[in-house]
Amino acid sequence: MIKTKDLAAQQLEADSYGETAPDILYNVVKTGVVTIPKGILDMGKKEIIAHARDIYNAMMDGSLDPIETMIIIKKGITFFESLDENVRPVIYGKTIVNRGEVLKLHNAEIEASDLGVKWLYDGCNSPELERLQEDVKKATEALKQHQIALQTITTKTKMVDTATGEEYEAFPAVRTATAGYKISIKN
């Protein structure tokens, strides 16, 4: 994961090659035929989607290699996620707009919002809450163990319901998966 100081170091390295931060940003998703244009900052959502479609179409017509395109996408996502992770704390530390206000800038709107709302119940002093949480914890563990047991059976199997003591026939769990490729970026 790139940390803020690493971004500064990368900028110094880029400066020695004559690139500026905007050049690095705009050339991240370079595909040879289609690149993200420098005007992306002022593009609307439809234009961005249209440029993504251009890259897809270039791949489909054979101008771009699908494997290289997927690797570029993975690296671009990693790059932008790292930037997002480092830039957000800087922005969140500033008052850009007040609640109810909207800042319109570069075809984007910025509003103050509650993100990741959480409720803390530790100080509620509710015995019912504590009992329910313990029940959920036990039920979750029992469910997990029962699912593991069901994954091990390969044919119709007689089992006993622990709550009623009744015998029943259980069938093997069905495993599903989506076939794909895992792309790992190496140093």
The pLDDT tens digits for 144-161 are 999 999 999 999 999 999
Sign of the C-alpha dihedral, residues 70, 76, 79, 83? Answer: negative
Give Cα 107 to chain centroid, integer Å.
23
Residue 169: strand pairing partners: 158
Domains in the chain: boundaries: 4-96, 127-170
The pLDDT tens digits for 130-143 are 999 999 999 999 99
Q: Which of these ranges, 28-37, 61-70, 168-177, has the smallest mean pLDDT? A: 28-37
Residue 104: strand pairing partners: 109
The pLDDT tens digits for 36-66 are 556 778 888 998 888 888 888 888 988 888 9
Query: Is the Cβ–Cβ distance between 30 and 55 less than 8 Å?
Result: no
Query: Is the Cβ–Cβ distance between 112 and 64 less than 8 Å?
Result: no
